Structure 1
Amino acid sequence: MTDLLWQKSGVATDARIMRFLAGDDVVLDRELFLYDIEASAAHVGGLANIGIVSEDEARAIRRELASLADDFRSGAFVLDERFEDGHSAIEARLTERLGDSGRRVHTGRSRNDQVLVASRLWLKARLRELADVARSVAEVCLARAEVEALPMPGYTHVQRAVVSSTAMWFAGFAESFIDNAQRADQTLALVDANPLGTAAGYGVNLPLDRDHTTRALGFGRMQVSPIYAQLSRGKFEIAALDALGAAVLDLRRIAWDLSLFTTAEFGFVTLPAEFTTGSSIMPNKRNPDVVELMRASYAPVAAARTEIEQLLSLPSGYQRDLQLSKGSIFHGFRHGLDALALLPDLLARLQWNETAMRAAIEPSMYATDVAIEAAVAGVPFRDAYRAAADSASEAGQGRTPETSLAARTSPGAAGDLRLDVLRERLRALD
């Protein structure tokens, strides 16, 4: 391992303790490394603005940082156990190539604000991905709701309840994912605050140009208080996981519906062949494994949130416990976004079995229509309800799924889906 940034003379290091302290940090930091380099370049620009490094030094450092980023992308530079973490690797490379200029790069910053700003940039990128995929899901759902409205049973308590339609099913998830996209955008606005320049949580005796680093890194605002910068670590990660979790919870409900609808007992849906797998022993089987893993994908997101929440039983100021939050947030977002990324294609290509869905609509499912019609004619609703219940098996006489759906004119129902309203909301997010 290269020389430790914090090593003091006369104090020996214990290899076992170092392994425990470093943990998986150097591996996890590969996820943050390019963001750490980007933030280092902005920091150097700020140091040049206040005369800590010369303009020539700043250009040389930024040039070397760009070279390091290129080497990392190409595999010519590997972040491995030679380094304690990504921060150490950056400083070691700059010192090796630039001598004293490289040693100046850490002036006015701590590894605390260094990891904060890299993590914040990473979170912003992931939240943009979340917003984008949520919009894609909503777009697919709206497109299908606009062109097909096949009758199907609507369920409550997983029991046949009333006549519904595929257009209503798609419209429901379209609106849900519009909300998910909006929530991702709102969470992005929350975390879009620059912590660089808060150092170890108490500022430094330098007039750091924090406005410069805020602009250079594309942040919406500066995170002003150094103490709050430390308090927000974990808090902002939980907010991001909450936004991700909301979308993955909706994914889980879609996956549950499809898990049921693809069974032989329902037979409502056929999945694209690429989204199924075969059995290792039963030649007759095609299994909905992708849908089942989608259904399971909320678990790692929830686990990541819980793990970070448990770490936050801490006083103010930086505590090393927070090191363990990195693996959680990476793991949770990887699983959640990977699952969501498959959803637009799945929803665009699944096929409905109209014959099976029509066959599942039984006469009693029109009983609510009968009761409402009687109430409109002047019968007190509770009396109309009882009469319809007594004759539920005959409620379908003279009725079709199409007439039931067309008569459902309450806003948002099958006869008035208001898809134009949903599309305008989706358009407004762009």
Structure 2
Amino acid sequence: MTQPLWQKSGIQIDAKIMRFLAGDDVLLDREFFLHDITASKAHVEGLAHIDVVSIDEAAALKRELDALADDFRSGAFVLDDRYEDGHSAIEARLTERLGDAGRRVHTGRSRNDQVLVATRLWLKDKLVALETHCRAIAEVCLERAAQPAVPLPGYTHLQRAVVSSTAMWFAGFAEGFIDNALRARQTLALIDANPLGTAAGYGVNLKLDREHTTKALGFSRMQVSPIYAQLSRGKFEMAVLEAIASAMLDLRRLAWDLSLFTTAEFNFVKLPAEYTTGSSIMPNKRNPDVVELLRASYASVAAARTEIEQLLSLPTGYQRDLQFSKGSIFHGVRHGLMALELVPDLLARLQWNDEVMRAAIEPTMYATDVAIEQAAAGVPFRDAYRAAAEAAASAGAGRTPEASLAARTSPGAGDDLRLDELAARLAAIEPPVN
């Protein structure tokens, strides 16, 4: 391993302790490394603006940072256990190539604000991806909800309740994922603050050009207080995980529906073959493994959020405990986005078994229609309710699922889905810009 940035003369480094201190940091930093390089370029420009590095030195540093990014992308440079972390690797590379100019690059910053800004840029990218996936899911749901509605039993308590439809089912998830897209956008607005230049949490005795780095890095505002910059670490990561978790909760319920609907007992849905797998011993089986793993994926996001929350039992200022948040945020975000990316194609291609669903609508499922019709005619609702309950077995006489849906005229119900209204809400969330 190269000499740590904090190494001082006269102190012997113990290899076992260094392995514990470094942990998986250098491997995790591969995910954030290009953002760290981008932030380093902005920092160099800011240092040049206040004459800490010369114009020529700044140009050389930026050139080498670009070369490092290219080498990292191509595999010519590997971030590995030669380095304590990605920050150390950047400084070591610049020092190797440029000598004293490379040694100046850390002036006015700490690894604390360095990791904050790299992570913040990474989180912004992931929120854009989250919004994109939620938008795509909502669009597919709206498209399928606009197709001719097929009667589908509506359930409460997992018991057959009232007549529903495929259009209502898709419209419900469309609205859910529109809200999830909006939450991603709102979370992006929350975290879109530049922490670079706050150093170790107390500022520095240099008039850093933080306005420039804020603009150069594409942040909407500066994170003003150095103390709050440190307090926001973990808090902002949790906010991102909560935005993903919101989408994953809807996905979990959607996956649960599909898990039930694909059973032989329901037989409402046929999945695309690519979304099923076979059994290793039972030749007759096709298992909905993808749907089951989509259903389980919320757990990874929730676990990541919980781990970060437990780390945040800390006083003001940076504490090394926060190093462990990197793994949590990386794994939780990565898994959540990977799951959501699969959903639009799955929903676009699943097939409903129309006749089976129609056959599952039994006469008692019209009892609510009967009670409400009687109440609308002037019978006190509770009396109409009791009468409909007593005659529930014959409630379907002369009725069809289509007629039940057509009579459901309350806003959002079977005859008034308001899909245009939902589409307008989605359109009002302007598409994300990378």
Q: TM-score range by the shorter chain?
A: over 0.9
* 1:75 Cα deviation after fit: 0.2
- Distance in 1, Cα, partners of 2:71 & 2:187: 33
Please give the secondary structure, in 1, of the residue aligned with 2:146: helix
Match for residue 299 of structure 1? 299
Match for residue 170 of structure 1? 170
Aligned residue identity for 1:282: M
* 1:3 Cα deviation after fit: 1.5
- Distance in 1, Cα, partners of 2:19 & 2:285: 48
Match for residue 423 of structure 2? 423
Match for residue 199 of structure 2? 199
- Distance in 2, Cα, partners of 1:19 & 1:169: 52
Match for residue 138 of structure 2? 138
Deviation string for 1:44-78 (max 9, x for gaps)? 00000011011111111000000000000000000
Match for residue 86 of structure 2? 86
Match for residue 8 of structure 2? 8
* 1:408 Cα deviation after fit: 0.1
Aligned residue identity for 1:128: V
Matches within 5 A, 1:247-396: 247-396=247-396
Aligned residue identity for 1:252: R
* 1:383 Cα deviation after fit: 0.3
Match for residue 215 of structure 1? 215
* 1:148 Cα deviation after fit: 2.7
Deviation string for 1:152-182 (max 9, x for gaps)? 1000000000000000000000000000000
| 1:95 and 2:99 are equivalent in the alignment | no
Match for residue 29 of structure 2? 29
* 1:4 Cα deviation after fit: 1.2
Aligned residue identity for 1:201: G
Deviation string for 1:79-130 (max 9, x for gaps)? 0010000000000000000011101000000000000000000000001000
**Unaligned residue ranges in structure 2 (runs of 5+):** none
Aligned residue identity for 1:18: M
- Distance in 2, Cα, partners of 1:276 & 1:4: 49
- Distance in 2, Cα, partners of 1:383 & 1:96: 87
Match for residue 57 of structure 2? 57
- Distance in 1, Cα, partners of 2:4 & 2:194: 27
Please give the secondary structure, in 2, of the residue aligned with 1:13: coil
Please give the secondary structure, in 2, of the residue aligned with 1:31: helix
Identity %: 79
Match for residue 76 of structure 1? 76
- Distance in 1, Cα, partners of 2:158 & 2:364: 15
- Distance in 2, Cα, partners of 1:398 & 1:312: 63
- Distance in 2, Cα, partners of 1:291 & 1:228: 41
Deviation string for 1:309-353 (max 9, x for gaps)? 000000000000000000000000111111100000000000000
- Runs of 4+ off more than 2 Å: none
Please give the secondary structure, in 2, of the residue aligned with 1:206: coil
Match for residue 111 of structure 1? 111
- Distance in 2, Cα, partners of 1:149 & 1:56: 68
Aligned residue identity for 1:129: A
- Distance in 1, Cα, partners of 2:10 & 2:284: 71
- Distance in 1, Cα, partners of 2:284 & 2:169: 30
Aligned residue identity for 1:313: S
Aligned residue identity for 2:17: I
Aligned positions, number: 430
Please give the secondary structure, in 2, of the residue aligned with 1:322: helix
Please give the secondary structure, in 2, of the residue aligned with 1:414: coil
**Unaligned residue ranges in structure 1 (runs of 5+):** none
| 1:245 and 2:245 are equivalent in the alignment | yes
Match for residue 128 of structure 1? 128
Please give the secondary structure, in 2, of the residue aligned with 1:153: strand
Aligned residue identity for 1:83: Y
Please give the secondary structure, in 2, of the residue aligned with 1:147: coil
- Distance in 1, Cα, partners of 2:172 & 2:115: 40
- Distance in 2, Cα, partners of 1:107 & 1:410: 64
- Distance in 1, Cα, partners of 2:373 & 2:84: 73
